[in-house]
Structure 1
Amino acid sequence: TTAISLFGPFSVGITSPQVTLLQQLLAKDPNIYPEGLMTGFYGSLTVKAVQRFQTKYNILTSGSPETTGYGLAGPRTRERITEILGR
């Protein structure tokens, strides 16, 4: 198995291949990312999917991308995503 590397930083509104990888990983759990779209764009659906992941795994449960990072795939969230969904 190859280790998956998910690099940031991410911010709302960016488009990048790393966002596509993030979306692919999140889409492995339909409860987290039911839309499953892999656009490479970090928009509202990706924010909501990351929020669901952060809540499910008790990383963050409130705030916003701008205030607490809720909905952004920061270092701790990226580490957990690759650990849990990167298989």
Structure 2
Amino acid sequence: MGAHFGRHLLKPDREVQKFEFFRENLINWYKFNFKSAGIALFFLGVVPVTLGWIGYKYQTINMIAARRDKPVYDNEWVPRK
């Protein structure tokens, strides 16, 4: 059932193995410098703060209610008590 007959049908791809090696050993070649610090600061600081500011600024705008010209429900309706 689990016997291996002859060679494997799948052959390893050298480019995939090379990518795996560099990905697992990135710390050996990566240097943290001003350029990479700036990119990290931008994506970890500037982008979230900007999106938060935009969300805070426009949270009260209701575009659906602004275009509505008639009430959602009839004003004479009274719920049961």
Tell me the TM-score normalized by structure 2: 0.21
- 1 or 2 for the larger relative contact order (CA 8 Å, sep ≥6)? 1
Which structure is higher in helix share?
A: 2
Q: Radius of gyration: which is bigger?
A: 2
